[in-house]
């Protein structure tokens, strides 16, 4: 990995001029290329293209990819957009945001405040259409209401297409319980939204609520596969369960490719700790990896390994914040892990 020395202004100036010429059509792309050079020692960014019809990722030379993430902003709490924006950006992917709500903290705090932003969806999207803005992926997380889900469906139609990946993390529950303000009717609407997706990544609790399956703390592979088959009937092309530990001391993901009918899994060492927002870390890194051209398996492996890395870093923090993981201190490891897989 290259190292940047702030006093080497000549090198920085030469590089910036070179990259400005290379991506003259993209106003700020040269700055990202400079970061790539300093991180990877190479400014050739072979980014990915997703074809929904063929369900394949292809590498092609072009300016950086752009992801739209639609979820809430929790001002304190290390989750949702405050996780997605820095992590996906650090992976060399432009990250646009459409906040569904602004919360003072995430919902595991007491007495949090909420400002719903549903009325901003249409004017923001109209402006984007007027400007001809396009997205290579649309990644949804916490959505606050059925009305927002209906608007997101419209966004999929307006900004989606064969080359746009639709990635849904149906954030609404964990540990056998729905989050505050959500009910089973909301879970049913989330299940309908998942029919629009290329990839969905619920945890076991969310999968149970969306499929009407009895939740179990302890489960075997047969239970997981049955749950995946039920999720597949919702309509998504690839379904992935997170937080799956079928072996002693292991934890990871277990998925199903609905076209081939093949199951796949990835696991790493279980860390005996639980923090809010780890699902957002996993989803964000998965999306970033896919946009950088990684295969599904490599993207999920990178995301799973990095999520564990953030948990371990948090456990080493003397303050051990309960409300989220210390992903900030582990971003260099994320960049290195991505570079190793490219």
Domains of the chain: 1-44 (no CATH), 49-341 (3.40.1190.20)
- Give the single-character DSSP code of 215: P
Token output for 146 = 């059925």
CA–CA gap between residue 131 and residue 111 (Å, rounded): 39
Q: Which of the residue ranges 167-171, 204-208, 210-214, 248-252 would you say has the lowest mean pLDDT?
A: 248-252
User: Best-predicted range by mean pLDDT among 40-49, 105-114, 225-234, 265-274?
Assistant: 225-234
Residue 56: what pLDDT? 53
Q: Where are the beta strands (DSSP E) in 106-224?
A: 114-116, 137-140, 165-168, 173-174, 177-178, 199-200
Residue 107: what pLDDT? 84
Distances (CA, A) of 3 to 20, 273, 293: 21, 34, 25
Give the mean model confidence (pLDDT) for residues 63-73. Answer: 95
- Does residue 21 carry a pLDDT above 80? no
- Does residue 95 carry a pLDDT above 80? yes
Residue 112: what pLDDT? 93
| Bridge partners of residue 95, in order along the sequence | 67
Supply the mean pLDDT for the chain: 86
β 177-178/199-200 pair status: unpaired
Place of tokens 């209401």: 145
- Determine the distance from the C-alpha atom of residue 5 to the mean position of all C-alpha atoms in its chain, rounded to a whole number: 32
Token output for 237 = 């092309």
- Does residue 250 carry a pLDDT above 60? yes
Name the region of 118 (left: φ>0; alpha: ψ -120 to 50; beta: rest): alpha
Residues 6+ positions from 178 with CB-CB distance below 8 Å: 172, 184, 186, 187, 209
Buried b (16+ CB within 10 A) or exposed e, 185-200: ebbebbbebbebbbbb
CA–CA gap between residue 53 and residue 144 (Å, rounded): 30
Please choose, from the candidates 201, 229, 226, the residue with its C-alpha nearest in 3D space to the C-alpha of residue 287: 201
- Does residue 61 carry a pLDDT above 70? no
Distances (CA, A) of 315 to 164, 229, 284, 334: 37, 36, 21, 18
Question: To 10 degrees, the CA torsion angle through 152, 153, 156, 157?
Answer: -140
Residue 49: pLDDT band (50, 70, 90) is: low
Q: Are 182 and 206 in contact (CB under 8 A)?
A: no
Q: What are phi and psi of 153, to 5 degrees?
A: -60, -40
Q: Are 275 and 324 in contact (CB under 8 A)?
A: yes
- Does residue 18 carry a pLDDT above 80? no
Residue 28: what pLDDT? 43
Q: Which of the residue ranges 10-19, 144-153, 314-323 would you say has the lowest mean pLDDT?
A: 10-19
Q: Which of the residue ranges 10-24, 32-46, 124-138 would you say has the lowest mean pLDDT?
A: 10-24
- Does residue 173 carry a pLDDT above 60? yes
Residue 323: pLDDT band (50, 70, 90) is: very high
CA angle, 28 then 135 then 289, to 5°: 85
- Does residue 35 carry a pLDDT above 60? no
């Amino acid at each position: 990995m290259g190292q940047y020395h702030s006093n080497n202004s000549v090198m920085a100036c030469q590089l910036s001029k070179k990259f400005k010429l290379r991506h003259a059509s993209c106003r700020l792309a040269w700055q990202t290329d400079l970061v790539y050079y300093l991180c990877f020692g190479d400014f050739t960014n072979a980014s990915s293209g997703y074809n929904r019809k063929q369900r394949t990722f292809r590498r092609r030379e072009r300016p950086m990819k752009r992801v739209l993430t639609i979820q809430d902003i929790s001002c304190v709490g290390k989750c949702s957009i405050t996780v997605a924006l820095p992590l996906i950006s650090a992976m060399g992917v432009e990250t646009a945001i459409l906040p569904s709500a602004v919360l003072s903290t995430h919902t595991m705090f007491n007495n949090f405040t909420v400002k719903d932003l549903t009325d901003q969806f249409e004017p923001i999207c109209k402006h984007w259409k007027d400007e001809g803005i396009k997205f290579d992926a649309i990644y949804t997380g916490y959505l606050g209401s059925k009305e927002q889900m209906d608007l997101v469906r419209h966004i999929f139609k307006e900004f989606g297409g064969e080359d746009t990946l639709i990635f849904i993390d149906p954030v609404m529950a964990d540990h056998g319980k729905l989050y505050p303000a959500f009910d089973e009717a909301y879970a049913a609407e989330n299940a309908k939204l998942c029919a629009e997706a290329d990839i969905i990544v619920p945890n076991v609790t969310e999968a149970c609520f969306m499929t009407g399956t009895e939740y179990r703390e302890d489960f075997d592979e047969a239970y997981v596969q049955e749950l995946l088959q039920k999720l597949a009937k919702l309509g998504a092309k690839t379904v992935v369960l997170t937080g799956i530990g079928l072996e002693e001391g292991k934890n990871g993901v277990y998925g199903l490719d609905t076209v081939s009918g093949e199951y796949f899994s990835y696991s790493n060492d279980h860390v005996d700790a639980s923090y809010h927002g780890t699902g957002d870390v996993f989803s964000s890194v998965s999306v970033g990896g896919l946009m950088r051209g990684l295969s599904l398996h490599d993207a999920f492996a990178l995301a799973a390994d990095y999520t564990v890395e953030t948990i371990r870093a948090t456990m080493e923090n003397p303050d051990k914040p309960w409300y989220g993981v210390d992903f900030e201190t582990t971003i260099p490891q994320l960049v290195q892990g991505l570079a190793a897989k490219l």
